[in-house]
Chain A
């Protein structure tokens, strides 16, 4: 356990503003591990994550399937799988208030109210038979039974906020009548109903066509600016994160392995995995350039190697990488990397 990381002064910061004080953080995650119960027993899916999000910050979490990014974002809003999903250690502080171990009743004052959440599948998060307007009304009135004219006005306002044309018609339609992009906008509108200070989006554009994706990303960028809220977005696609986020955090096999300003990471990734990930996508400027490939497959949860999780596939691995625990994040100026050889790459 990298004890040095649990002190707030050594906290890797999700925001580029390194001068911010811990108390200013909207969200401070330190030493958080998440486990799920499987048939073989409890399996760790997120291992000792440390990061912060500043007010109005935008953090992108990039990682492939099984990296733990979805479970991490679900831990932040207290919706881990009900059977056997739990935060095993660490602390999640929301504006100074501890969220780990919060009773479900109190979670309701945070989830959806202060932290909005857009889950991966927009189709699954909308009721297929209830009109869109009714569902948004529920989100607006926050479970209170009587919905008044003010609430109805707010529903229309939300639909316009997410740039849905002909909002008055859409409130009477069901999810099935809307396109994938429209549905995603409705889900975002619902997440914004209580004016959250942080919006967490889990792979918000994965199932969408590229032209629709472009619209949704543009919307997220604009909403963040208009509403002054913070954003945390997970994606397997670094390019998506570059479009929306100031900072990017890379996850691999349950571990956070790099945090930095998006532009800096794009120019010079510090961790060999981030570097390999960027090399494995088609270069816009030189599309014919041979793609870099990472040999092998990511380790499955529960079968993580000793030492650095990435060493079996890493071109730069040395003997020291193969032993001990997953290396803790080290600070390199404004940036963080969990690679023990980072100094040599700089």
Chain B
């Protein structure tokens, strides 16, 4: 009952996004399991156009593009969720400390670090990190997290400064609540909700960033299926076998769109509810 009424009130765009995302997640979960094709080793004739047997066709090594694309989506999404999750937690904690810290030396130093990271072009910084760690799954993850947390820190810093000045926090102080109680029960929950909305919108950027890094050869490397890498691989065969690039690209676009719709809808719902 309650869910039904909440569903009716929910933002329409949010629902469309959620539905789309559910389909993509379902497909990425099931495709590699149900299909008899292996996403890494080619067992079919290469460069076949889409057909009933191979919905998205096959690539130059005889691998099924459909299975590969959704295996890649699964990897990309998991990487993005982990990267955003870690950045969110670290960044929000650091940002909250900075927002509360006033003019202490620690918060001055953190401010400098955060502003420096944020001032750098993201992709250049990420490429730099990958150059050190190496193009691999851990490389991509650390690149995204090391550059990403500072954005959450900035959001949390601004939000914390506002909340720390709000009258309900003043009231808490007047009631003699200890510093940690004020922080944990009154400031942080109100900072966190906004950071979470920000994280949802960042998810899109991060998915695209992972794909971009791999596309540039600085991320997940073949033969591991990854959307950016797949688009890159298929690029040179675009005129002869368009499906090798175009289908992974479409899946990437749809995944990004679905998350964007969810993020926008979530923001609208939390703002006006």
A-side interface residues toward B, CB under 8 Å? Answer: 39-40
Contact = CB atoms under 8 A, between A and B. Distances in A.
B9 interface: yes
A39 B9 CA distance: 7
A330 to B, nearest CB: 40
B3 interface: no
Contacts of B9: 39-40
Interface in B1-49: 9
- The 3 A-B residue pairs whose C-beta atoms are closest, nearest first, are A39-B9, A39-B272, A40-B9
Interface of B: 9, 272
Contacts, number: 3
3 contacts: A39-B9, A39-B272, A40-B9
Contacts of B272: 39
A128 to B, nearest CB: 22
Contacts of A40: 9
A40 B272 CA distance: 12
A40 B273 CA distance: 11
A84 to B, nearest CB: 14
Contacts of A39: 9, 272
Nearest to A38: B272
Nearest to B12: A39
B15 to A, nearest CB: 13
A40 B10 CA distance: 10
Nearest to A39: B9
Nearest to B8: A40
A40 B11 CA distance: 11
Nearest to B269: A39
A127 B272 CA distance: 27
Nearest to B273: A39
Nearest to A40: B9
A269 to B, nearest CB: 37
A172 B272 CA distance: 40
B254 to A, nearest CB: 27
A39 to B, nearest CB: 7
A37 to B, nearest CB: 13
A39 B272 CA distance: 10
Nearest to B9: A39
A267 B272 CA distance: 43
Nearest to B10: A39
A95 B272 CA distance: 41
A241 B9 CA distance: 40
A345 B272 CA distance: 43
B193 to A, nearest CB: 20
A75 B148 CA distance: 49
A42 to B, nearest CB: 15
B112 to A, nearest CB: 33
B73 to A, nearest CB: 33
A134 to B, nearest CB: 35
